[in-house]
Structure 1
């Protein structure tokens, strides 16, 4: 799937609209190890399979920040304004890590457009409440309010 391209004047009409779920993405031990290497977060619950098996969780889990960092990869269902040369990650509000993502589980993201605020005719902040769910589990891994900055040209 690809982002839905909409006329910039119509982007505000998407406030309250549900963003369709993405496809599933498997969180592998290899991905977790790569993230640990990049961030220096080598806590045993993420990278030591044998030691993590002895815990209540029964194995390794993804870093919460790895789950959060997957949101750009999973954003392909968001509406974006036409004639947008680029968008930027402005930040996240109300980030909550609600359940661990066990190694080998699959996650996907969906959300609701919360706000579209045009600073001027070419620049806006786009806010979407996103949920990253874990396949087969009732409790989601993550909830956050994600703010993107869109710039358009005529």
Structure 2
């Protein structure tokens, strides 16, 4: 397991100087079967490989696996463990550029996020307060061996 590390900046504009740097490592996080079942209910994706514990034991992964989109939904939470921006008026998730589900995640397995800042640029809010748009490469790793589970390039904005 990697030691959690966090980057703290006072203002969004400080991100401009961190491009290319690893921002840190999240706290470990475990997705439970109950969370998988709740996600299946919300998304109406009740594929047996996710929710049927008994049937999945005989499946290709020896048990249930977390929905890829549930793993992806955890990326902003993992990034929040890694990066703190102290002074801004509003933060938004702006999108994704690239996502890959490299290896299935089994419920009950600890994961950690590792983030590197890929880009950061000033944005103009059309006469209102500006801010910074940034892109981070977040690798979701298995905490026990640092093997890659999911990779996502997430775009986010901090408005000042």
What TM-score do you get using the length of structure 2 for normalisation?
Answer: 0.87
Measure, in 2, the Cα distance between the counterparts of 1:151 and 1:25.
28
More strand by share: 2
Measure, in 2, the Cα distance between the counterparts of 1:100 and 1:52.
13
Going from structure 1 to structure 2, the CA distance change for 1:31 and 1:72 (only over 3 Å counts) comes to: same
Q: Structure 1: which 4+ aligned runs deviate by more than 6 Å?
A: none
Aligned length: 151
Gaps of 5+ in 1: none
Residue of structure 2 in register with 1:142 after alignment: 150
Gaps of 5+ in 2: none
Residue of structure 2 in register with 1:29 after alignment: 33
Measure, in 2, the Cα distance between the counterparts of 1:6 and 1:17.
17
Residue of structure 2 in register with 1:12 after alignment: 16
**RMSD of the alignment, in Å?**
1.8
1:109 is paired with a residue whose SS is: strand
Deviations 1:65-117 (A, max 9, x none): 0000011221222253x530220010111100000001110111111101111
What TM-score do you get using the length of structure 1 for normalisation?
Answer: 0.90
Instruction: Give the conservation status (yes or no) of the 8 Å contact 2:6–2:84.
Output: no
Which stretch has the larger CA shift, 116-125 or 67-76? 116-125
